[in-house]
A and B are shown apart, each in its own frame.
Chain A
Amino acid sequence: NAGVTQTPKFQVLKTGQSMTLQCAQDMNHEYMSWYRQDPGMGLRLIHYSVGAGITDQGEVPNGYNVSRSTTEDFPLRLLSAAPSQTSVYFCASSDDRGSENTIYFGEGSWLTVV
């Protein structure tokens, strides 16, 4: 049982480059989301999805795109990387159908934009 898998774990980008953070889950969860974690600010929601074909913006969506073509995958795209996007990124998924709502996290992706 792999849970939530994020890749890459570490990445260094130059300003203006684009890249995609991959996220996949094998638990058939409807709800998936991306967070960024910055010192002293906890985790802030970037984008989320409540099912295949459905995405919506979170608290800090600017500079990021997402898509949800399948239930399993929820990639996060940085269109033109900026130093302000240096952060740790976490993908999460949860079962939206029950009252349990346990949130499962990936291991994190450490991104540095220079």
Chain B
Amino acid sequence: AQSVTQLDSHVSVSEGTPVLLRCNYSSSYSPSLFWYVQHPNKGLQLLLKYTSAATLVKGINGFEAEFKKSETSFHLTKPSAHMSDAAEYFCVVSAQYSSASKIIFGSGTRLSIRP
């Protein structure tokens, strides 16, 4: 079985300050982990992915995430927030060998940026 928990439903930061969006996962198999971003009334865009290579993954728009197996976490960070980062962010876990529940989404974290 696999699951993913996004620990914050809403995060608000000031422009230019660091961003931390937290994600914990559970998986019976070696997981692939993803972060997707969704801007209002838009589709989902891949930010970054972890697929058992380097544990620190760099994505688009200055985001990065670190896979920590001991903590079963895959938190998303960015050193300096920009107004255009305001969006909904989804952590996703995918188990390569599981067909019953292959891709599981977290419930999402809404990121707000204060001027």
Q: What residues make up the interface of B, taking CB atoms closer than 8 Å to A?
A: 9, 32, 34, 36, 42-44, 46, 49, 51-52, 90, 92, 94, 96, 99-108
Contacts and interface: CB of A to CB of B under 8 A. Distances in A.
Contact of B103 (A33, A41, A100, A107): A33
A105 B103 contact: no
Interface string A30-45: 0101010000111111
B103 A92 contact: yes
Given A40-B107, A43-B90, A50-B99, A106 B43 contact: yes
A35 B105 contact: yes
Contacts of B49: 100-102
Contacts of B107: 40-42
A8 B96 CA distance: 31
Contacts of B44: 90, 105
A31 B104 CA distance: 14
A103 interface: yes
Interface in A12-58: 31, 33, 35, 40-45, 48, 50, 56, 58
